[in-house]
Structure 1
Amino acid sequence: MDINEQTFKDEFSKFISSLQKLLPKKKDFITIEPLKPKVIRLADVHNEAKSVFPKCFIGTKLVIMREILDRVKLLQQYNYGRCKESYKCYDLFIHKEMEPKSPQEGLLVDWTGSATATYNESFDGYDMRLISKIKDLISSENEITLEKCGEKTVASVSCTMKDVDPNTAQLMAHWMYQIVPELTVGTELGIQPMVYPPLPTVSISARYEKPSFTLSGTLSRLGFQGCLFKQMDSNLRIATIVNEGPKGPATVGIALSKKYLNGSYLKIFVDSQRCGGFTVQKDVLFHDPPNELRVVSLVASVLLDRQRRVRLGFGFNLDF
């Protein structure tokens, strides 16, 4: 039987086109820079510097984010190997640091089967946020936050409880005050009322900000942390983090984040513990016949750990 070469090419093109339709469409993001608040939240005091550091992982992973309904999102993650953050580039001294402070209202179901519901309400100048996370039938986490934003202050009080156990109840209070436009100070106070003796946890933070750099620091019982963020240009950022704990020596980490004209991102870091690594993310575009663009995000990770071993990671991010 003769095989027509052109027919084979057409059938193969149709097969490739059908596979491309399974990929998410490229979204036209209209980015409007929001007006930056005069006073930031305490949990964001080190945000710029820590966002420069890469999140290195080992193994392979596939992350899929899909909107099912108007306010329902499904997050799926499939791992092969030790696909997780295998090295902490920095420590977290502040409650809920580096987490979204204003999560979208709705329901998020992740790959582990956990469901997180968020409800926001505003009244008399206060913002109330209720977050309830159900991991399984016997494991849950609930948090309610009351926040007040002023011209020079941001104050919040939150209460968290795990597994509906009063012994895990924790009260946290955040307060941030702007002394001058460049200098802001804040404090965090936490206590577990059902734990005896109810010893409070206290931390003090300060932040000095200029258009081209930001210097911040936090002092608590966990130790001292200092962060320096520098914006070299619109596509290049560098950061330095110094950690000193109560038991170990001080460690210094330096990171660089670079955005290229082709839309790819590079994040690289080294530290005084003889560790280093980088992540690369690039969007690969596929042309669909009806003049549509479909995209898949490729992520590669390389980590050099303390034993001088090179660990590799590779993943895909799909956002439907």
Structure 2
Amino acid sequence: MDLNEDKIKEEVSSFVSSLQRLLPKKKELIYVEPVKTKLTRLNEVHSEAKSVFPMCFTGARLIILREVLDKVKLVQQYNYGKAKETYKCFTHLLHKEMEPKSTDEALLLDSAGSATATYYEDIDGGYKMRLTSKIRDLISSETEIILDKDSSNSCYSITCSMKDVDPNTFRVVTQWMYKITPEFCAGTEVCFEPLAYPPTPDVAVSARYERPSFTLSSTISRAGFQACIFKQFAPDLRIATIVNEGNISGKTTVAVALHKKYQNGSELKIFVDSQQCGGFTFQKDVLFYEPHNETRVLRLVGSTLIDRQRRVKFGFGFDLDF
């Protein structure tokens, strides 16, 4: 029998292929990214519940936000009557609560003659520094330095502020929040003025229990006690309840609010409380598209407020983002 080299190679290759089919297939490596723990800062402990409540105002207002340069923004606000927030059924027991937590590094100018400059810097050791300086006029100013540090289970910040370059107004605020379990976290705030006499610190303790559809939170301090309940019934429907008790007034207020979003971009917020007060705000965004792929927003806001004397007050405003 003649031996052909090509035929031998073909037979060997076929035999090796048959063996490879019998071998188990190599499993694909699946890389699972570690789950990042969502951290909640202390000044955000009641953010979901309090954002449901409307900020009612009376009179007429016009707010224009305009970006002049890359890092320079101009804010103009014009009021007719008492176009400002006239009633809140809850108080803020924590420092910088319900204020924007991340302000862009920029220079902000408003129609009142104030200039606010914000500067960010990353420091060794995982710290983040934010310097904010606000000048109202030639003799009135406010400077604030915030140092933040986040770890796997905790958030820590220290804030130093001073007004009108007066050492007697020097103030230090420390906030710390620790996530004990994925659903439960607790924190504390200490605020004191080192140059005041006697230097008695203000201490506040907060706790928060969070689930995908609802949140329970509470804060107790020298100013009072507060408990908040937030419930998400649907992607476009939220309800919140706040129980607030002040140590000075000694009164307990219970308030309930509803926030409804509509498919056309409108939003409705309604609240009532145990002091026979109530109100609502209705807003709608109108979008304008420009040729250079830029979108301008015109927000129409209507407000109604019923005060303790059962008087009905109205407000209307425009918010322009140009």
Superposed counterparts of 1:1-320, under 5 Å: 38-124=38-124, 125-246=126-247, 247-284=249-286, 295-320=297-322
Aligned-residue offset at 1:287 = 8.1
* Secondary structure class of the residue paired with 1:101: coil
Matched residue pairs, number? 286
CA separation of 1:183 and 1:69: change in aligned 2, threshold 3 A: same
Q: Which amino acid aligns with 2:270?
A: I
Residue identity (%)? 64
| Per-residue CA distance 1:79-105 (angstroms, 9 max, x = gap) | 000110010131000001111122111
Distance 1:286 1:123 in 2: 41
CA separation of 1:36 and 1:108: change in aligned 2, threshold 3 A: farther
| Per-residue CA distance 1:215-243 (angstroms, 9 max, x = gap) | 00000001100001111111111101100
| Per-residue CA distance 1:244-292 (angstroms, 9 max, x = gap) | 1113221001111110011101011000010000000012356889999
- Whose RCO is larger (CA < 8 A, sep 6+)? 1
Q: TM-score, normalised by structure 1?
A: 0.86
Q: Which amino acid aligns with 2:84?
A: K
* Alignment gaps of 5+ in structure 2: 1-34
Q: Which amino acid aligns with 2:253?
A: T
Distance 1:209 1:151 in 2: 18
Determine the structure 2 residue equivalent to 1:12. none
* Alignment gaps of 5+ in structure 1: 1-34
Equivalent residues of 1:223, 1:243 under 8 A apart:
yes
Distance 2:289 2:123 in 1: 48
Q: Which amino acid aligns with 1:48?
A: E
Distance 1:290 1:97 in 2: 38
Determine the structure 1 residue equivalent to 2:27. none
Q: Which amino acid aligns with 1:299?
A: V
Equivalent residues of 2:287, 2:298 under 8 A apart:
yes
| Per-residue CA distance 1:139-168 (angstroms, 9 max, x = gap) | 001000111100001011110100000000
Distance 1:109 1:305 in 2: 34
CA separation of 1:138 and 1:289: change in aligned 2, threshold 3 A: closer
Distance 1:44 1:291 in 2: 34
Aligned-residue offset at 1:194 = 1.2
RMSD: 1.9
Q: TM-score, normalised by structure 2?
A: 0.85
Q: Which amino acid aligns with 1:171?
A: V
Determine the structure 2 residue equivalent to 1:23. none
CA separation of 1:262 and 1:169: change in aligned 2, threshold 3 A: same
In our comparison, the structure showing a higher alpha carbon Rg is 2
Distance 1:173 1:290 in 2: 45
